[in-house]
């Protein structure tokens, strides 16, 4: 039996989370895209230290209002599927958001988790989808939010994504030059199995474009990220939109943040628009796994099949 966890593959890297404000009231898609394009150009400059990030992340549903009634209206046909992973040609997509994001990733030479956008599928369903680009502008993956945000907290918040969205049915892992990264979207963070499997497949981080609210944000936003990070001894981060300061639309919690494998905050924003730079290091993962060796102490003989429990 192994006495220490095998080291993870990867190298130190820098992330930039863009806590984006909607342009105006959020209803003007062209303005939202233009604002995101400008903020991407700002993020790659690397802030006061001038250190360019390896990976830039945008928030959940950044090109449309976050409202079930309008997802279909804003939805775009991307045309990517896991079967087309090696052959997908971004110049053929009908999606203007994908074209803008691909061009930005290529122009700036960065990995890009392009937040999420409403996607219209070939069979006319609408998904909440996160496109991921390599530094040459290739669309390497699209994560469709697996777990839909259907909740009803009396006196708090009621939201039912399944009114207009369908849940995705694949897990998303991207192989970058600094390590494997898992991607989920917002409510997906509440399902520890997705993160556990991602970590066991060798990921160094799990990143969620997200948009928590003012009921569950203060209670669970930080807790869920730290729990996923400590359980799996990886980095876990969520990138939120900035909180809208006017109007009666969705009010996001903000507080984009990243936690390390020991549960320590690498960085966190408040609720306002901003760019968060975050440095990660695989040594931190390896040290955590050597010191607290849960990765090699698991008892799958006792909890063989969690789905049947
Ligand atoms: O899980 C939560 O409390 C919030 C989730 C959410 O806002 C979302 O999935 O968009």
Q: Where are the domains of the chain?
A: 14-308
* The pLDDT of residue 248: 80
Task: Determine the pLDDT at residue 184.
Answer: 98
Query: Residue 227 gets which letter from DSSP?
Result: H
Residue 269: per-residue pLDDT: 98
Nearest by Cα to 63 from 16, 148, 122, 131: 131
Q: How far is the CA of 266 from the centre of ligand 1 (A)?
A: 22
Does any ligand 1 atom lie closer than 6 A to the CB of residue 147? Answer: no
Q: Is the CB of 66 under 6 A from ligand 1?
A: no
Can you give the pLDDT at residue 309?
64
Token representation of residue 52:
């360019």
Which atom number of ligand 1 is nearest to the Cα of residue 149? 9
Q: Using a 6 Å cutoff on CB, does residue 211 contact ligand 1?
A: yes
CA separation for the pair 205, 38 (Å, rounded): 26
In Å, how far are 12, 66, 227, 297 from 4, measured between CA atoms?
A: 22, 45, 22, 10
pLDDT < 70: residue spans in the chain = 1-3, 309
How many angstroms from the chain centroid is the CA of residue 127? Answer: 15
Q: Does the CB atom of residue 257 touch ligand 1 within 6 A?
A: no
> DSSP character for 86?
T
Residues designated as active site: 60, 145, 186
**Is 238 near ligand 1, meaning CB less than 6 Å away?**
no
Q: Give, rounded to a whole angstrom, the gap between the first and last alpha carbons of the chain.
A: 27
- Ligand 1 centre from 136 Cα, in Å? 32
- CATH number for the region 14-308 comes to 3.60.110.10
Q: What is the pLDDT at residue 208?
A: 98
DSSP state of 242: P
221 within ligand 1 shell (Cβ under 6 A)? no
- State the distance from the centre of ligand 1 to the C-alpha of 197, rounded, in angstroms: 21
pLDDT at 228: 98
Instruction: Please give the pLDDT value at position 114.
Output: 98
Query: Atom 1, ligand 1: which residue's CA is nearest?
Result: 187
How far, in Å, from the CA of 205 to the mean position of ligand 1?
A: 20
> Residue 200's pLDDT is what?
95
Ligand 1 atom closest to 147 (CA): 9
């Amino acid at each position: 039996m192994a006495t220490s966890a095998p080291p993870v593959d990867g190298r130190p890297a820098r992330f930039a989370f863009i806590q984006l404000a909607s342009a105006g009231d959020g209803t003007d898609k062209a303005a939202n895209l233009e604002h995101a394009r400008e903020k991407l150009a700002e993020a790659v400059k690397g802030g006061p230290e001038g250190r360019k990030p390896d990976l830039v992340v945008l928030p959940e549903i950044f090109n449309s209002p976050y409202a079930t009634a309008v997802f279909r209206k804003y939805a775009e046909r991307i045309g990517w599927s896991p079967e087309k992973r090696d052959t997908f040609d971004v110049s053929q997509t009908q999606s203007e958001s994908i074209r803008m994001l691909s061009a930005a990733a290529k122009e700036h030479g960065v990995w890009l988790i392009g937040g999420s956008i409403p996607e219209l599928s070939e069979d006319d369903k609408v998904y909440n989808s996160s496109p991921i680009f390599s530094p040459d502008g290739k669309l390497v993956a699209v994560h469709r939010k697996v777990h839909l945000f259907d909740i009803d907290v009396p006196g708090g918040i009621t939201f039912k994504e399944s009114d207009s969205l369908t849940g995705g049915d694949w897990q998303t892992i991207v192989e970058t030059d600094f390590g494997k990264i898992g991607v989920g979207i917002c409510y997906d963070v509440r399902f520890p199995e997705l993160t556990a499997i991602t970590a066991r497949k060798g990921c160094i981080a799990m990143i969620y474009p997200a948009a928590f609210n003012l009921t569950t944000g203060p209670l669970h936003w930080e807790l869920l990220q730290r729990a996923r990070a400590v359980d799996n001894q990886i980095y876990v981060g969520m990138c939120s939109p900035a909180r809208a300061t006017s109007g009666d639309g969705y009010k996001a919690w903000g507080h984009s943040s990243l936690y390390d494998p020991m549960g320590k905050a690498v960085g966190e924003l408040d609720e306002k628009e901003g760019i968060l730079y975050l440095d990660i290091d695989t040594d931190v993962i390896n040290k955590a796994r050597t010191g607290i060796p849960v990765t090699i102490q698991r008892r799958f003989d006792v909890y063989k099949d969690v789905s049947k429990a």
